[in-house]
Amino acid sequence: MSSPQRIVSLSASNTEILCALGLTEQLVGVDTWSDYPPAVKTLPKVGRELDIDMATVAALRPDLVAACRSIPGMERNITRLEAAGLPYVAVEPIGLDSIFECIRRLGAATDRQQPAEELVDRIQARLVVVQQQVASVTERPRVYWEWYPRPLIAAAGKSWMTRLIAMAGGENIFAGRAEESTTIQVEEVLAHQPDVILACWCGARTPPTAERVAARAGWESATAVRSGRVHVLPEAYFARPGPRLADGLELLAAVLHPERAAQGVGGTGRP
């Protein structure tokens, strides 16, 4: 298999994976959200994940387009790539284990199989370190993970966040729902009385603040609000199914178990 020399990435997660595989110089275009590593910021932009300009993609003459189906609607890109006759690979991260398979699939499509396996090993090793650091915690806080505010969208059972929350020593209050993400009502959150509320909004024009989330009508009765455990976490560490989820887990463990932060939770290094 020959390694592609002109790659266009249609998602920020794919961009980060490809760069981690040593393919930064082969990237000739990326989606609007791709901003990491810094070297990709100057590349031509081909539009947002759900609004890709396929003419711009074609004009870049890619010998591989890295597509993704991480959120509903992105599957339209596949249809349009096929109609345009552009060579592509499409990954679909659903749950933590599938993210590792996505890395391997991108590695296979770019003749980077060995670097892909090594990247997976490094990420998994970092996840294990965090799990070990919180393995002896006696209290596992109940966590409400919010992806979007209107309507309220929470991480559910199939989400990689449910696994990451468990690895960080917590429990997702909506883990019992079969979906990856679930639309909920305020009353459902309050009924669960989460110990910790975490807001990580995807694609929001105005980023959240902990004060803004805590000040919602009726939320003053929530355990997390009364104890001051409402936090905003960076989308880039959690909403992009790629290498920086390891950074995210380290941060998450420190938030859920601040008493352990001084003992080494977090900061084990990047993949």
Q: What is the pLDDT of residue 71?
A: 78
Q: What is the pLDDT of residue 268?
A: 42
How many distinct structural domains can be found in the chain?
Answer: 2
Q: What is the pLDDT of residue 270?
A: 46
Q: Is residue 271 part of a domain?
A: no
The answer on 70 and 148 residing in a single domain is no
Residue ranges of the chain with per-residue pLDDT less than 50:
267-270
Per-residue pLDDT of 149-169, as tens digits, reads: 989 999 999 999 999 999 999
The answer on 213 and 173 residing in a single domain is yes
- Tell me which of 76, 93, 125 is where a domain ends: 125
Q: Is residue 2 part of a domain?
A: no
Q: What is the pLDDT of residue 259?
A: 84
The CA distance from 228 to 138, in Å, is 21
- Tell me which of 85, 102, 125 is where a domain ends: 125
The answer on 234 and 197 residing in a single domain is yes
Q: What is the pLDDT of residue 2?
A: 74
The tokens for 219 are: 């939320």
The answer on 165 and 243 residing in a single domain is yes
The model's pTM: 0.92
The answer on 153 and 84 residing in a single domain is no
- State the CATH number of the domain containing residue 21: 3.40.50.1980
Q: Which residue range(s) make up the domain with 177? A: 137-261
The answer on 154 and 97 residing in a single domain is no
Q: What is the pLDDT of residue 260?
A: 75
Q: What is the pLDDT of residue 42?
A: 97
Q: Is residue 1 part of a domain?
A: no
